[in-house]
Amino acid sequence: MTTTGANGLKDCVEGVVVRIDSHFPLVEYAGRKYRCTLRKKLKRGPRDTTHKICVGDRVLFLPPAHEQDICPIEEVLPRKTQLTRKAARHEGMSQALVANVDRLIVVVSAVAPELNPRLIDRVLVAGENGKLECVICVNKMDLVPRGKIEPLVAYYPAIGYKLIFTSALTGEGLDGFRDALKDKSSVIAGPSGVGKSTLLNAIQPGLKLTTREVSEVTGKGKHVTAFVQLIPLDFGGYVVDTPGIREFGLWDVTKSDLQDLFREMAPYIGQCKFHDCTHTHEPRCAVKAAVEEGKIPRLRHESYCAIFTSL
**Which are the contacts of 306, defined by CB distance < 8 A and separation ≥ 6?**
118
Question: Please, which residue, 163 or 287, has the CB nearer to Zn ion?
Answer: 287
Given the complex with ligand GDP, which of 38 and 245 has the nearer CB atom? 245
| Shortest reach from residue 5's CB to ligand GDP, in Å | 39
167: left (phi over 0), alpha (psi -120 to 50) or beta: beta
Candidate list 27, 125, 135, 287; residue touching Zn ion; CB under 5 A: 287
Residues forming a β-bridge with 186 = 103, 239
Residues 6+ apart with CB under 8 A from 310: none
Quick one: 109 or 278, whose CB is closer to ligand GDP?
Answer: 109
Asked if 242 interacts with ligand GDP (CB under 6 A), we say no
195 binds, among Zn ion, ligand GDP, none (CB under 5 to 8 A by kind): ligand GDP
Cβ closer to ligand GDP: 173 or 297? 173
197 binding partner (options ligand GDP, Zn ion, none; Cβ < 5 to 8 Å by kind): ligand GDP
> What is the bridge-based pairing of β-strands 133-139 and 103-109?
parallel
How many residues contact Zn ion, by CB under 5 A? 5
Q: Are strands 58-61 and 214-218 parallel, antiparallel or unpaired?
A: unpaired
Stretch that binds ligand GDP, among 56-64, 116-124, 136-144, 271-279 (CB under 6 A): 136-144
The backbone region for 136, taken as left when phi is positive above 0, alpha when psi lies in -120 to 50, beta otherwise, is beta
Contact mark string toward Zn ion, 216..255, x via CB under 5 A: ----------------------------------------
Please report, as residue ranges, which positions from 260 to 279 form the binding site for Zn ion (by CB under 5 A): 272, 277, 279
Contact call for residue 169 and ligand GDP (CB under 6 A) = yes
Kindly tell me which of 87 and 152 has the beta carbon lying closer to ligand GDP: 152
Decide whether 168 or 291 has the Cβ nearer to ligand GDP. 168
Q: Is 194 in the site for ligand GDP (CB under 6 A)?
A: yes
Backbone angles phi, psi at 308, to 5 degrees: -55, -45
User: To the nearest whole angstrom, how small is the minimum distance from the Cβ of residue 284 to Zn ion?
Assistant: 8
Taking the C-alpha atoms of residue 287 and residue 151, their distance in angstroms, rounded to an integer, is 23
One residue of 193, 236, 249, 267 binding ligand GDP per CB under 6 A? 193
167 binds ligand GDP (CB under 6 A): yes
Strand partners, 187: 104, 240
CB 114 within 8 Å of CB 69: no
> Interhelix angle for 196-203 vs 174-181, to 10°?
90
Quick one: angle between helices 146-153 and 117-129, nearest 10?
50
Q: Which does 50 bind (CB under 5 to 8 A by kind): ligand GDP, Zn ion, none?
A: none
User: How many Cα atoms occupy the beta-carbon half-sphere of 51 within 13 Å?
Assistant: 21
Name which of 7 and 192 has its Cβ closer to ligand GDP.
192
Question: Under the criterion CB under 6 A, does residue 196 sit at the interface with ligand GDP?
Answer: yes
CA atoms within 13 A on the CB side of 135: 21
Positive or negative CA dihedral for 70, 76, 81, 87? positive
Under the binding rule (CB under 6 A), the answer on residue 158 touching ligand GDP is no
CA–CA separation, 181 vs 234, rounded Å? 11
Task: Enumerate binding residues for Zn ion (CB under 5 A).
Answer: 272, 277, 279, 285, 287
Task: Enumerate binding residues for ligand GDP (CB under 6 A).
Answer: 139-140, 142-143, 167-169, 192-198
